[in-house]
Amino acid sequence: MRNATRFFCSVCVLGLAGCSGSIEKPGGTTTAPSDPAATVGGSGGGSTGLTAGSGGGQNSTTSVIAGAGGEMTVTVGSGGDAAASCDAAHLDPGPSPLKRLTSVQYKNTVTQLFGDVDISSAMPPAAANAYIGLAQADVAQFDVENYSKAAGLVAASAITHLDTLAPCANPTDLTAAHACLNSFLAVYGPRIYRSPLSATDLTQLASVFDVGFAGSGYAHGIELALEAMLSAPRFIYRPEFGDAAAAGATASTNAVPLSAYELASRLSFAFWNSAPDDDLLAAAQSGALLTPAGLDTQAQRLLGDPKANDSFRQFLYAWFGLNDLSYVSKDTMVYPDWVDGTAQAMRTQSDAFFDQVLFGAEGNLNTLFSAPLAGFAGPDLASWYQGATAETTSGILTLPALLTVHSKPRESFPIYRGVFVREQLLCSPLPAPPANVPKPPEPTPGVSARQRFAEHETNPGCSGCHQLIDPIGFAFENYDGVGHYRTTDDQGVAIDNSGALVNTDSDGPFTGVAGLAQKLVASPQVQACAARQWFRYAMQRFDQAADTCSITPLLADFQASGFRFASLRTSIINTPAFRMRRPITADAVTPAPGMTP
């Protein structure tokens, strides 16, 4: 099991000496920043109000944004980023941090360009972030070495097909060789750099080519030039400068449109988790991508490709923490049917559930929480469904992969599951704990989990936080640490699966996971959280108060569609955050001549 990220309310500091347990969470080493002071509301259809900052008042501004679900009022309070208005003259698309290709994006891109190349020795699968939105741009020395090694592996593999990669009659004259090089760069340069090559690019790459050509001839020159491009910051990062000269770029002092090539990259990495293909680059070159119709045409084309489903499935895995399934360790003395291949069987079931339920025309939030799972389980998971009822094996909250990830090696541990619902489904993160929070009490024969954590309710130093978590987690106690349904817990005690939501828009008691699912699917807070999680994934960053003007119409379209995921996927392209960036300030570093946007 990976190092655990630990969560706890700061209120626990007050009663630390008597608090009976800390909160740990598997699956990551990074805690989420606090959410901005924004509350997204709406009750399943019609107009939606979103209030940020101080929430109106004398100094607030009110704007109307059109969405598929009709017009919506956005009130933005005074102070900080929240003071920004959504009108065209003041529109703020939020921050645009420098993005670095993830290991998945790097692998997808080189596969798209050169076919399947084994780069696992240079770039092993990276551990998933604990939260969507935390793709980091900084690199360590070993990252640089890995990128360089991966580039060498890809280049060495690519030139074994030199007759199709860079066909030329094996020139021995440098002038003829440069002509062949330029033909190769004309085809592959824009594909690799995701925009046209500048004169500086061509000069630099010719110098690298010359070294290889002088040493071992034309093939080695192409290999070195290709290796240089694949290890260049221009490829590894996704620089964005915006197009200040574009029509309408001066409409807001806080925003400039992206260039056509920058927009192509945002579109392809959001929908395919890979670089733009030739059709998308052609749409950028022609300027068609800068028109609403052209952007929509390309978005629909990308979504019609199987790669789009692969990418959206990765979003769902990240949202629900299922990437951590690869790192799960279970005690086979406690769970004897946890064998080699069980984790893969759970992943296969999850894929089938997402593919056949969520990607269909009727796939929506209700389906996510209610669709039966047994039909997606293969023979390796047959025992999970023997004697189970449809109510106890329906919806994402009963998915064995999810229940397995959000548990401990030897027990179900309701705290993990309560934290998952609180943070990932309600978008209500908990602050990190102080360093000296004691460990939770150990399991005791004959003592239920509810009894074991009873001090969380009675100790004022713990109850302020655990009342938000424990009553949710206890509802999951009908499922053991690998997702089997049961009626007695790890200690053989009859299960009390009653629960309650506190400090949500759907507060109140419920019974079991089925009762929890009914409350969550009807909760505007959960509906808004789904939209926010997709925004975070597509933008590779957390939402901020300035993003009110993007998330509000995104949520409106989601609501108007009946909370269909297909609508959520496409609506992102029409948001200011997706199509624009903040202007580069005067004191920012001037891009190098080779960094053509």
Residue 130 DSSP class: S
If phi > 0 it is left, if psi is from -120 to 50 it is alpha, else beta; for residue 108 that is alpha
- 461 C-beta neighbours (distance < 10 Å), count: 20
Q: What is the DSSP string of 267-328?
A: HHHHHTSS---HHHHHHHHHTGGGSHHHHHHHHHHHHTSHHHHHHHHHHHHHHHTGGGGGG-
Burial of 167 (0-12, 13-18, 19+ CB in 10 A): exposed
The pLDDT value recorded for residue 245 is 77
The pLDDT value recorded for residue 63 is 34
Nearest residue to 129 (alpha-carbon basis) of 93, 100, 109: 100
The pLDDT value recorded for residue 434 is 60
Residue with tokens 């690519």: 158
Beta-carbon contacts of residue 69 (< 8 Å; ≥ 6 apart):
45, 46, 47, 48, 556, 557, 559, 560
The pLDDT value recorded for residue 238 is 93
The pLDDT value recorded for residue 551 is 95
Beta-carbon contacts of residue 192 (< 8 Å; ≥ 6 apart):
113, 229, 230, 235, 275
- Check if the beta carbon of residue 559 is closer than 8 Å to that of residue 45: yes
Residues in the chain: 597
Residue 432 DSSP class: P
Largest Cα span, the chain: 85
Which token pair is 261?
């090539």
The upper half-sphere exposure of residue 139, i.e. CA atoms within 13 Å in the direction of its Cβ, equals 18
**Amino acid identity of 295?**
L
The pLDDT value recorded for residue 199 is 94
* H helix intervals, 194-242: 199-216, 218-230, 233-236
- Check if the beta carbon of residue 376 is closer than 8 Å to that of residue 346: no
Run of H or E including 502: none
- Beta partners for residue 54, in sequence order: none
Handedness of CA 259, 264, 267, 273 (dihedral sign): negative
- Beta partners for residue 7, in sequence order: 23
The pLDDT value recorded for residue 559 is 96
CA angle (77, 80, 81) in 5-degree steps: 80
The pLDDT value recorded for residue 72 is 34
The pLDDT value recorded for residue 454 is 64
Mean pLDDT by 10 residues, the chain (597 residues): 32 36 41 36 32 31 34 35 63 89 91 94 68 68 87 96 91 94 97 96 96 95 97 93 74 84 96 96 96 95 93 93 91 95 96 87 90 94 91 96 96 92 92 66 74 63 71 94 92 90 94 96 96 94 91 95 92 94 69 50
